Amino acid sequence: MSSFRQDFIRFAVQQNVLRFGEFQTKAGRLSPYFFNAGLFNDGVSLRNLSQFYAQAILASGLSFDMLFGPAYKGITLAAAAAIALAEQGLNVPFCYNRKEAKDHGEGGTTVGAPLKGRVLIVDDVVSAGTSVRESIELIRAAGAVPCGVAIALDRMERGQGELSAVQEVQRNFGIPVVSIVTLDDLLGYLQGEAALVQNLATVQSYRNRYGVKND
């Protein structure tokens, strides 16, 4: 596992963004861990988070021209990632959408740079894939090309079928999904952390029961 991935998991635990216990998911499953990116909610944590996004995006080798942040969580994430990428020497424009079209002032459904070229969508996680689908439709309607999705955590968990939400996005839209970490990264991290290793068995059991096969 890349060191920045280990660092991200450690950071998420320290921020209480990643917790262990018993949590009920939207699907009604009892998960032994919970990840809430909304708790990266101050200046320092958001700066650090943006740097992890930038490292994951650059490490992927994905070619893109701009970033897009789906309302609402993606707005902050795309803007922060753009700053972090600029600090790494890659200055790209970013854009985000409104939930409702504005009929006065500049109008329209998007704010920021015009949507054009290859667009990388930045969000926290992929759950049902609704946000990604809406973003792709908006990007294509503007004449631009969605080229990928960057997220913080890939839970690698089956949806209604045999595929995960991330795998469904990759299959249905033909674009890659780049994550800072995956559930397998978390399992690898737990093996080497004495303070957290007691959670390894339950997380591995959950992975065995609900997880998808690696691509």
Q: What is the pLDDT of residues 71-125, one digit of tens each?
A: 989 999 999 999 999 999 999 999 999 876 655 445 578 999 999 999 999 999 9
C-alpha span between 56 and 150 (Å, rounded)? 8
CB neighbourhood size of 5 (10 A):
21
pTM for this entry: 0.92
DSSP string for residues in 29-65: -EEEEEE-GGG--SHHHHHHHHHHHHHHHHHHT---S
Largest separation between any pair of C-alpha atoms in the chain: 57
Predicted local distance difference test score (pLDDT) of residue 131: 85
Q: Is 213 tagged catalytic?
A: no
Predicted local distance difference test score (pLDDT) of residue 215: 62
C-alpha span between 49 and 39 (Å, rounded)? 11
Q: What class has domain 3-210?
A: alpha beta
User: When comparing pLDDT for 214 and 148, which is higher?
Assistant: 148
Residue-wise over 69-105: b if at least 16 C-beta within 10 A, else e? bbbebbbbbbbbbbebbeeeeeebbbbbbeeeeeeee
Cα distances from 65 to residues 19, 27, 69, 94, 120, in angstroms, run 35, 36, 14, 9, 8
Predicted local distance difference test score (pLDDT) of residue 151: 97
Q: Is 102 tagged catalytic?
A: yes
Q: What is the mean pLDDT of residues 164-191?
A: 95
C-alpha span between 200 and 69 (Å, rounded)? 33
User: When comparing pLDDT for 1 and 86, which is higher?
Assistant: 86
Predicted local distance difference test score (pLDDT) of residue 2: 78
% of the chain surpassing 70 pLDDT: 94
DSSP string for residues in 89-120: T----EEEEEEEEE-STT-EEEEES---SEEE
In 3D, which of 39, 51, 43 has the Cα closest to residue 14?
39
Predicted local distance difference test score (pLDDT) of residue 101: 60
Question: Choosing from 26, 73, 99, 104, which is the catalytic residue?
Answer: 104
Tokens 């409104």 appear where? 98
What residue ranges do the domains of the chain occupy? 3-210
CB neighbourhood size of 119 (10 A):
26
Q: What is the mean pLDDT of residues 1-26?
A: 93
C-alpha span between 26 and 209 (Å, rounded)? 16
In 3D, which of 181, 138, 137, 132 has the Cα closest to residue 156?
181
Question: Choosing from 26, 73, 99, 102, which is the catalytic residue?
Answer: 102
